[in-house]
Chains A and B, each alone.
Chain A
Amino acid sequence: MNIRFLFTIFSLYGGLLHGEGPKEVHIRTTDFAPSPDAIFSIAGKAELAVYRAFREKFPHIYPEGNSLSLSLEGAAGEAPLLMSIAGKTAPNAIHVNTRQSGSYIGRNFLLPLDDFINADMTVAEAVELGIYDSSIMYREELEARVRPQVWDAVSRVGEDGKRHFYYLPFNYFVRVLAYNKTVFQESGINPVTEYPKSWSELLSIAKKIQSPKQDRYGMILSETGGASWTALPFFFSMDSKIVEREEKTGSWIAKFNDPGAIEAADYYLKLVGGPWKDSSGEQRYGVGRSREAWHLWDKGRVGMALLYMNDVLMNMDEHISAMNPEEVGLVPVPKSPIGKSITELHVRGLGICATTEDPDLIRATWAFIRFVGSPEAQRVIVKTYIENGYGSFIDPEKLKLFGYEEYVKTVPSQWAETLKYSMRNSYPEPYGENCQVYIERASKPLQSAFAEDLPRMPEKADRIARLQELYDVAVSDINEKMLGRIPEDVISFRRKVSVVVMLFMLLSFLLLFVYVWRLFSGTTNGRKLGFKVWLKKYWLAYLLLMPSLIAIFLFNYYPLIRGAVMAFQDYNVIGGSTFVGVDNFAAVLFDGVFWISLFRTGEYVFWCLLLVFIPPILLAVLLSEIPRGSVIFRILYYLPALVSGLIVMLMWKMFFDPSETGALNQVLSIINIGPHKWLQDKSQAMVSIILPLAWAGVGPGCLIYLAALKTVPDESYEASAIDGAGFLDRIWHITLPSIRPLIMIQLIFVLIGAFQSADNVLVMTGGGPDYATHVIGLEIFYNAYVYLRFGVAIAIAWILGFFLIGLTMFQMKRISRMNFTTAKT
Chain B
Amino acid sequence: MSGLTLRKLSKIYSPGSKDAFHAVKEIDLVVKDKEFMVLVGPSGCGKSTTLRMIAGLEEITGGDLLIGERRMNEQLPKDRGIAMVFQNYALYPHMTVSENMAFGLKLRKTAKAEIRARVNEAADILGLSELLNRKPKALSGGQRQRVALGRAIVRKPEVFLFDEPLSNLDAKMRVQMRTEISKLHARLDATMIYVTHDQTEAMTMGDRICVMKDGEIMQVDKPVNIYQRPANLFTASFIGLPQMNFIRGRFSQSEGIFHFSGETEQTGHITLTDRLLATAQANSGKEFILGVRPEHFIACADDEEGAIRTQIELGEPLGAESFIHVRTIAGDKLIVRLPGIIQSVVGQNLCVKPILEEAHLFDVEDENRLCVSS
Please give the residue numbers on chain A whose beta carbons come within 8 Å of chain B beta carbons, in ascending order. 713, 715-716, 718-725, 729, 733-734, 737-738, 740
Docked complex Cα distance between A719 and B77 (Å)? 10
Whether B37 sits at the interface, judged by CB under 8 Å, is no
Chain A interface helix/strand/loop/mixed: helix
Docked complex Cα distance between A737 and B78 (Å)? 21
B107 touches A722 (CB 8 A): no
A722 interface neighbour in B55, B91, B92, B93, Cβ under 8 Å:
B55
Docked complex Cα distance between A740 and B95 (Å)? 13
Docked complex Cα distance between A278 and B135 (Å)? 79
Query: Which of B79-87, B197-205, B267-275 forms part of the interface with chain A?
Result: B79-87
A733 interface neighbour in B55, B77, B90, B92, Cβ under 8 Å:
B92
B108 touches A724 (CB 8 A): yes
B77 interface neighbour in A713, A722, A729, A737, Cβ under 8 Å:
A722
Whether B103 sits at the interface, judged by CB under 8 Å, is yes
Docked complex Cα distance between A719 and B87 (Å)? 11
B93 touches A738 (CB 8 A): yes
- 30 A-B pairs within 8 Å (CB atoms) are namely A713-B88, A713-B90, A715-B86, A715-B87, A715-B88, A715-B89, A716-B90, A718-B55, A718-B77, A719-B86, A719-B91, A719-B151, A721-B57, A721-B77, A722-B55, A722-B77, A722-B82, A723-B78, A723-B103, A723-B104, A723-B155, A724-B78, A724-B107, A724-B108, A729-B107, A733-B92, A734-B92, A737-B95, A738-B94, A740-B94
Please give the residue numbers on chain B whose beta carbons come within 8 Å of chain A beta carbons, in ascending order. 55-57, 76-78, 82-84, 86-95, 103-104, 107-108, 151, 155
Beyond A713-B88, A715-B88, A721-B57, 7 additional contacts (C-beta under 8 Å) are: A719-B84, A719-B91, A721-B78, A724-B107, A729-B107, A737-B92, A740-B94
Considering the complex, give the chain A residue whose CB is closest to the CB of B94: A737
A713-B88, A733-B92, A737-B92 known; A722-B103 Cβ under 8 A:
no
Docked complex Cα distance between A740 and B108 (Å)? 25
Chain B interface helix/strand/loop/mixed: loop
B76 interface neighbour in A715, A718, A719, A721, Cβ under 8 Å:
A721
Chain A: minimal CB distance from B51 (Å) = 12
Considering the complex, give the chain A residue whose CB is closest to the CB of B76: A721
Q: For B92, what are the chain A residues with a Cβ–Cβ distance below 8 Å?
A: 716, 719-720, 733-734, 737
Docked complex Cα distance between A643 and B274 (Å)? 87
A718 touches B107 (CB 8 A): no
What 4 A-B pairs come out closest when comparing CB atoms?
A715-B90, A723-B104, A724-B78, A719-B90
Q: For B89, what are the chain A residues with a Cβ–Cβ distance below 8 Å?
A: 715
A713-B88, A715-B88, A733-B103 known; A722-B83 Cβ under 8 A:
yes
Q: For A718, what are the chain B residues with a Cβ–Cβ distance below 8 Å?
A: 55, 57, 77, 84, 86, 90
Docked complex Cα distance between A719 and B55 (Å)? 10
Q: For B76, what are the chain A residues with a Cβ–Cβ distance below 8 Å?
A: 721
Docked complex Cα distance between A729 and B77 (Å)? 15
Considering the complex, give the chain B residue whose CB is closest to the CB of A722: B77
Considering the complex, give the chain B residue whose CB is closest to the CB of A734: B92
Chain A: minimal CB distance from B175 (Å) = 24
Docked complex Cα distance between A576 and B221 (Å)? 99
A733-B103, A737-B94, A740-B94 known; A722-B84 Cβ under 8 A:
yes
Docked complex Cα distance between A716 and B151 (Å)? 13
A738-B93, A740-B94 known; A724-B104 Cβ under 8 A:
yes
Considering the complex, give the chain A residue whose CB is closest to the CB of B157: A722
Chain A: minimal CB distance from B166 (Å) = 16
Considering the complex, give the chain A residue whose CB is closest to the CB of B89: A715
Q: For A729, what are the chain B residues with a Cβ–Cβ distance below 8 Å?
A: 107
Docked complex Cα distance between A722 and B152 (Å)? 10
Considering the complex, give the chain A residue whose CB is closest to the CB of B161: A722
Q: For B55, what are the chain A residues with a Cβ–Cβ distance below 8 Å?
A: 718, 722
Docked complex Cα distance between A725 and B87 (Å)? 20
Docked complex Cα distance between A734 and B87 (Å)? 19
Docked complex Cα distance between A721 and B155 (Å)? 13
Q: For A720, what are the chain B residues with a Cβ–Cβ distance below 8 Å?
A: 92, 103
Docked complex Cα distance between A724 and B151 (Å)? 12
Q: For A724, what are the chain B residues with a Cβ–Cβ distance below 8 Å?
A: 78, 104, 107-108
Chain A: minimal CB distance from B77 (Å) = 5
Q: For A721, what are the chain B residues with a Cβ–Cβ distance below 8 Å?
A: 56-57, 76-78
Docked complex Cα distance between A253 and B94 (Å)? 65
Chain B: minimal CB distance from A458 (Å) = 66
Docked complex Cα distance between A727 and B240 (Å)? 46
Q: For A738, what are the chain B residues with a Cβ–Cβ distance below 8 Å?
A: 93-94
Docked complex Cα distance between A373 and B77 (Å)? 88
Docked complex Cα distance between A695 and B190 (Å)? 55
Docked complex Cα distance between A378 and B45 (Å)? 97
Docked complex Cα distance between A621 and B64 (Å)? 34
Q: For A719, what are the chain B residues with a Cβ–Cβ distance below 8 Å?
A: 84, 86, 90-92, 151
Considering the complex, give the chain B residue whose CB is closest to the CB of A712: B93
Q: For A723, what are the chain B residues with a Cβ–Cβ distance below 8 Å?
A: 78, 103-104, 107, 151, 155
A722 touches B78 (CB 8 A): yes
Docked complex Cα distance between A733 and B57 (Å)? 19
Docked complex Cα distance between A713 and B87 (Å)? 12
Chain B: minimal CB distance from A810 (Å) = 19
Q: For B104, what are the chain A residues with a Cβ–Cβ distance below 8 Å?
A: 722-724
A725 interface neighbour in B84, B93, B107, Cβ under 8 Å:
B107
Docked complex Cα distance between A723 and B57 (Å)? 12
Q: For A734, what are the chain B residues with a Cβ–Cβ distance below 8 Å?
A: 92
Considering the complex, give the chain A residue whose CB is closest to the CB of B163: A715
Chain A: minimal CB distance from B135 (Å) = 12
Docked complex Cα distance between A720 and B90 (Å)? 9
Docked complex Cα distance between A722 and B85 (Å)? 10
Chain B: minimal CB distance from A200 (Å) = 77
Chain A: minimal CB distance from B223 (Å) = 28
Docked complex Cα distance between A722 and B104 (Å)? 8
Q: For B87, what are the chain A residues with a Cβ–Cβ distance below 8 Å?
A: 715
Q: For A713, what are the chain B residues with a Cβ–Cβ distance below 8 Å?
A: 88, 90
Chain A: minimal CB distance from B250 (Å) = 52
Docked complex Cα distance between A73 and B104 (Å)? 58
Docked complex Cα distance between A620 and B86 (Å)? 27
Considering the complex, give the chain A residue whose CB is closest to the CB of B84: A722
Considering the complex, give the chain B residue whose CB is closest to the CB of A724: B78
Docked complex Cα distance between A738 and B94 (Å)? 7
Docked complex Cα distance between A718 and B76 (Å)? 11
Chain B: minimal CB distance from A130 (Å) = 94
Q: For A733, what are the chain B residues with a Cβ–Cβ distance below 8 Å?
A: 92, 103
Considering the complex, give the chain A residue whose CB is closest to the CB of B148: A719
Q: For A716, what are the chain B residues with a Cβ–Cβ distance below 8 Å?
A: 90, 92-93
Q: For B82, what are the chain A residues with a Cβ–Cβ distance below 8 Å?
A: 722
Q: For A715, what are the chain B residues with a Cβ–Cβ distance below 8 Å?
A: 86-90
Docked complex Cα distance between A724 and B155 (Å)? 11
Chain A: minimal CB distance from B155 (Å) = 8
Looking at A722, A724, A725, A738, the one whose CB has the most chain B CB atoms below 10 A away is A722
Considering the complex, give the chain A residue whose CB is closest to the CB of B99: A733
Docked complex Cα distance between A723 and B151 (Å)? 9
Docked complex Cα distance between A718 and B88 (Å)? 12
Q: For A725, what are the chain B residues with a Cβ–Cβ distance below 8 Å?
A: 78, 107
Q: For B95, what are the chain A residues with a Cβ–Cβ distance below 8 Å?
A: 737
Docked complex Cα distance between A738 and B82 (Å)? 25
Considering the complex, give the chain B residue whose CB is closest to the CB of A723: B104
Docked complex Cα distance between A718 and B104 (Å)? 12
Q: For B103, what are the chain A residues with a Cβ–Cβ distance below 8 Å?
A: 720, 723, 733
Chain B: minimal CB distance from A187 (Å) = 75
Chain B: minimal CB distance from A738 (Å) = 7
Chain B: minimal CB distance from A723 (Å) = 4
Docked complex Cα distance between A737 and B93 (Å)? 9
Docked complex Cα distance between A720 and B94 (Å)? 13
Docked complex Cα distance between A506 and B108 (Å)? 53
Docked complex Cα distance between A715 and B95 (Å)? 15
Docked complex Cα distance between A740 and B78 (Å)? 26
Chain B: minimal CB distance from A734 (Å) = 7
Docked complex Cα distance between A406 and B108 (Å)? 101
Chain A: minimal CB distance from B263 (Å) = 52
